[in-house]
Amino acid sequence: MSSIVTGRALLVFAALAALPAVPGVPTYYLLLAFDALLFGAIAMSLDLLMGYTGLVSFGHAAFYGLGAYATAILMERGVLSLWACLGFSVLVVGAYALVVSYFATARRGIYFALLTLIFAEVVYTFFRYTQTFGGSDGIQGLPDAELWRGVPIDTPQRKYYLVLAYLAVAYAACRVLVTSHFGRVLVAIRENEDRARFLGYRVRRYKMGVCLISALLTGLAGAIYPMRSAFATPDLMLWTESGEFIISVMIGGLGTLAGPIVGGVFFTILRDKVSSYVDWYFIVIGVVLIAIVLFMPKGLLGFRRLLGFRQWRATG
Amino acid sequence: MDYLVAVLLPQLLHGLVFGAALGLLALGLTVIFGLLGVMNFAHGELYMLGAYAGIAVIGWTHSFWVALVAAPLIVGVLGALTEVATLRPIYRREPLYGLILTFGLALVFREGVRQIFGGDMRRILPPFTGSTPLLGMTYPNYRLFLLAASSALLLAIWLFFTRTRAGIIVRAAVQDAEMLDGLGVDVRRVFTLTFAGSAALAALAGLLLAPVFTVYPQMGVEMILLAFIVVILGGMGSLGGSVVAAVVIGLAQSLFSLWMNPQRVAIAIFGIMIVVLILRPRGFFGREGVLE
Amino acid sequence: MARDGVVLDVAAVSKSFGALAALAAVSLAVREGEVFSVIGPNGAGKSTLFNVVCGLYAPTAGRVRFRGREIAGLPPEAINRLGVAKTFQITNVFPEISVGENVRVAAQSRSADSGRLPSLWRRPDVDMRVDELLGAFGLAGRRDELAENLSHGEQRYLEICLALATEPSLLLLDEPTAGMTPGETKDATQLIRRVTRARGLTLLLIEHDMSVVMGISDRIAVLHFGEKIAEGPPEAIRNDPKVIEAYLGPPEDEGPRARE
């Protein structure tokens, strides 16, 4: 299965792994890199839904935020193990995703977008106004997580490697998925859902399946976030956050997996620079979205498709 | 009995009016989706723009009634321009792109308004005050006016869709957009006019309701979420279904507000939606055979 | 499980859409291995009949049995899994993936992994079947081409490949030669007959082109305004006065001539 890990990918990951070793890299940039890679991972998991299956989720931030709260709730109570947090997030996000995907996949794709949005709004409202979870302030002041007893993930370097490891695993998993039988069916569903049904596929199951997988990947990313930020707040679940995920996917290029990672990184850095002009920020986002759809629907990496990234399209 | 009359009845009337406004929004969404194939995420913003355009016009002319005519016109024109510039190029593309583009539009409108008018809550004063005794309670005159106005609006729309040639064409085209080609009408003009018309209606609703609620940049967000719930419940095959579902949700919203705080109301409405979807996965008026 | 060799038993099937009665108590029985055509003027209900059989609609009344098993009201994917495959009148393939991918995804639906957990990481080996199907329809050279770039005739063939890839025993072809030139139609007809004979398929066919119908069918049923007005071998149908009237009779009837 050499197609899982291309030489190109290995090179990139090696370079990324070497980043903290470069002398003179300030903490700020390492943490920015953390955010960028995390965003990239989330955008990639959203691409499974958007690029490969053709379903737009406007509520992906809910999966992200729930994962963060899962970690925060455990760490608040003194459970610092990375693995416990990840496991608990899987449970919480998985349960929520099952319910959402059940309702969201019952009808045409447009209802998927609407229902994911509505569900996410409800989750946001719930956390924002429930004091048990800190209300609008969320859960603050969290300690560092532990890899295992006695090995805290406390330095920026360790946190960076945490997210890099996560991205590597998630990327490999996604590559396996999109080249598998399951992945090819997703593409067929995107291209012509009705036809897929007439070929014997229980389309709804596939949609629920990919929604669940995408949600879990995003939830795990969310679970890692408080280990860097030391908090979990309801704002992580705003629909504007979902919009930012979507932008990242679009910038990078639908249906390429690697594209959205680049898009997520690009967007995070862009946001970091632009958000000093906080007021204008959302207008910029809106204009960027409009411009991408009108002028650059294939995203940044879309152009590189011409150079041979064709894996997800013509050939298997 | 006093409670019934003094509290419940007015709330029911509020609910009807609110439901009518929701119905206007949901109708607009349904028609735009049926015709252009685009789910207009920015529709709530058009509603909000109506209120703000009203504020601007009232600022210049000091007349609510002038604003009532001017604001929908302004927003209608804005809608037409937006449609030509941004939506026309993407008619034939996958629906996914329309969603994302209108989402971007919503952001631009919302933040644009916030930049121009500031994020504070504003008020529009009702054009007349006072109340009238009605059915044993006293009901504010402006709200009576709203009841009359919304009924008249819905009636006018119903007449448009059933009695005018244009309306019948639009209604049929919502079911099957391709038939427009065969009729020899200028399809692009129909689309632009339809979008502009929906925008104007949404703006009208926004301005009419403004004296009752506060005006702030986020006001469209809540409406659009409720409008989406209406569309989910009413299905998009039936225009009448949208209005019915809207009135139901409007009434529910109003009644629940008597007993719960706003967040709980939102969750309760959501709960209604879930229950209906469990019992009738296609919504109230889903159609069989269409692989929805 | 076919009783008396009857593969498909349509028993008094009616289908109404609101006030419109598209089908009224239509009955027919298709036997193993035969080519059975359904013809009739536009609006006769032929496509509705197909849609009822393959699961898009549930009949308002009547029963549909496939090899003795009740299938009316089942969803399309379930019916396909039982061995019924359909092609579409308007080409309905997967446009932005290659021809080979198109057929592969269709063939994969029959692999053992399909619908199970291992399908998340395994790629079933269906290449041989894909090659065989593409070869049978002369599409082997177009394998890497995007489906939407194919010529009309090639797309019609791809339609059939997709259906065949699901290994049906009953194949429903909805106007397979629609939009083809007379030369293409002749080739297509022969090809279809050869392929279905070779695989022992039963064929249920909707067609407007009389030369195709007369040349290929074992039996024909004629629908008119949702009712079956005649059934029998081609010779009988050709001379049946009711059929002739249905096509050439009342002025508002268009019949197959309008297609020219």
Chain B residues within 8 A of A54 when measuring between CB atoms: 94, 96
Residue C159 DSSP one-character state:
H
What's the order of all strands across the beta sheet hosting C69-70?
C20-31, C6-17, C61-66, C69-70
**How far is residue A32's CA from residue A10's CA, in Å, rounded to a whole number?**
22
**Contact criterion met (CB below 8 Å) for C77 and A202:** yes
pLDDT value, residue B190 = 87
pTM (two decimals): 0.90
pLDDT bracket for residue C218 (50, 70, 90): very high
**Binary contact (C57, B289; C-beta < 8 A):** yes
Query: Cα torsion at A274, A280, A286, A290 (round to 10°)?
Result: -80
Q: Are A263 and A253 in contact (CB under 8 A)?
A: yes
Q: Determine the Cα–Cα distance for residues A110 and A118; give it in Å rounded to an integer.
A: 13
Q: Which of A164-168, B170-174, C7-11, C211-215 has the highest mean pLDDT?
A: A164-168
The answer, for C88 touching chain B at a CB cutoff of 8 Å, is: no
A107, B292: Cβ pair inside 8 Å? yes
Across chain A, mean pLDDT equals 88
On whether residue C195 sits in a domain, the answer given is yes
pLDDT, position A302 = 54
Least CA distance to B280: which residue of chain A? Answer: A106
Q: How far is B111 from chain C (nearest CA, A)?
A: 37
Given this model, what pLDDT does residue B143 score?
Answer: 87
- Output Rg (C-alpha) for chain B, integer angstroms: 19
Which pLDDT band, with edges at 50, 70 and 90, does A15 fall under? confident
Q: Do B111 and A246 touch (CB under 8 A)?
A: no
Q: Do A181 and C144 touch (CB under 8 A)?
A: no
Q: How buried is residue B276: exposed, middle or buried, by Cβ count under 10 Å (0-12/13-18/19+)?
A: middle
> DSSP string spanning A111-123?
HHHHHHHHHHHHH
Q: C111 lies in which domain range?
A: 33-56+75-259
Q: Which CATH class is domain B2-279?
A: mainly alpha
For chain A, domain boundaries: 7-239
* Closest residue to C144, CB basis, from A187, A199, A314: A314
Asked whether the beta carbons of A231 and A136 are under 8 A apart, the reply is no
**Interface subset of A 158-217, CB within 8 angstroms of C:** 176-177, 179-182, 184-185, 187-188, 191-192, 194-203, 205, 209
C207-223 in b/e form (b: 16+ CB < 10 A) is: bbbeebbbebbebbbbb
Q: Which ipTM was obtained for this model? A: 0.89
How far is C253 from A16, CA to CA, in rounded Å?
72
Higher pLDDT, A70 or A312: A70
Work out whether the CA dihedral B82, B84, B90, B91 comes out positive or negative.
positive
pLDDT score for C250: 53
Answer yes or no: is pLDDT of A306 > 60. Answer: no
Say whether pLDDT at C157 is over 80. Answer: yes
DSSP H helical ranges for chain C: 46-54, 76-82, 99-108, 127-136, 152-165, 182-199, 210-216, 234-239, 241-248
Q: Number of Cβ pairs closer than 8 Å across A and C? A: 103
Which amino acid, one-letter code, is at A54?
G
Phi, psi (deg, nearest 5) at residue C12? 50, 50
CATH (domain of C37): 3.40.50.300
pLDDT digits (tens, 9 = 90+) for A240-288: 899 999 999 998 888 888 899 999 999 999 888 877 766 778 888 899 8
- Of chain A, the percentage scoring pLDDT greater than 90 comes to 61
User: How high is the pLDDT of residue B202?
Assistant: 95
∠ CA(A102), CA(A105), CA(A107), 5° rounding?
Answer: 125
Per-residue confidence (pLDDT) for residue B286, from 0 to 100? 61
Does A188 contact C97 at a Cβ distance shorter than 8 Å?
yes
Which amino acid appears at position B141 of this protein?
A: N
Q: Of the candidates B185, B186, B239, B184, which has an alpha carbon nearest to the alpha carbon of residue B33?
A: B239
Is residue A16 exposed (0-12), middle (13-18) or buried (19+ Cβ within 10 Å)? middle
CA distance C61 to C13: 5
For tokens 């019952």, the residue is A106
pLDDT exceeds cutoff 80 at B93: no
> C129: which 2 tokens?
């079947």
Residue of A nearest to B278 (CA): A103
- The reported pLDDT for the residue numbered A3 is 54
Chains touching A (3+ CB pairs < 8 Å): B, C
Residue pair A230/B87 in contact (Cβ under 8 Å)? The answer is: no
- pLDDT for residue C1: 47
Give percent of chain C above pLDDT 90: 47
Number of domains in chain C: 1
C170, part of any domain: yes
The 3-state DSSP class for residue C226 equals coil
- φ and ψ of B131, to 5 deg: -135, 165
Q: What angle do CA C165, C169, C170 make, to 5 degrees?
A: 100
CA C187/CA C185 separation, integer angstroms: 5
Quote the pLDDT of residue A314: 34
Put simply, whether B182 touches C (Cβ < 8 Å) is no
- Report the gap between the CA of B138 and the closest CA in chain C (Å): 46
Q: Inspect the interface and report whether the beta carbons of A314 and C86 lie closer than 8 Å.
A: no
pLDDT the model gives residue B236: 77
Residue in A with minimal Cα distance to B86: A294
Contact C51/B289, CB-based, under 8 Å? Answer: yes
Give the pLDDT mean for C213-229.
90
Q: From the list C81, C98, C113, which residue is nearest A315 (CB)?
A: C98
Q: Contacts for C191-194 with beta carbons within 8 Å, 24 or more apart? A: C191/C136, C191/C137, C191/C157, C192/C160, C192/C216, C193/C35
Confidence at residue A209, expressed as pLDDT on a 0 to 100 scale: 95
pLDDT(A164) > 50: yes
Burial B139-160 (b: 16+ CB within 10 A, else e): bbebbebbbebbeebbeebeee
Instruction: With beta carbons under 8 A apart, name residues in chain C contacting B291.
Output: 56, 76
CA distance A153 to A168: 18
Q: Quick one: pLDDT at residue C260?
A: 38
Residue C129 within any structural domain of the chain = yes
> What distance in Å separates the CA atoms of residue B23 and residue B46, rounded to the nearest whole number?
14
How far is residue A256's CA from residue A312's CA, in Å, rounded to a whole number? 7
Residues in chain B: 292
Per-residue pLDDT tens over the stretch B215-245: 999 999 989 999 999 999 987 777 888 889 9
Question: What is the full DSSP assignment across B22-39?
Answer: HHHHHHHHHHHHHHHS--
Q: Do A282 and B89 make contact, defined as CB atoms within 8 angstroms?
A: no
pLDDT in tens, B192-209: 999 999 999 999 999 999
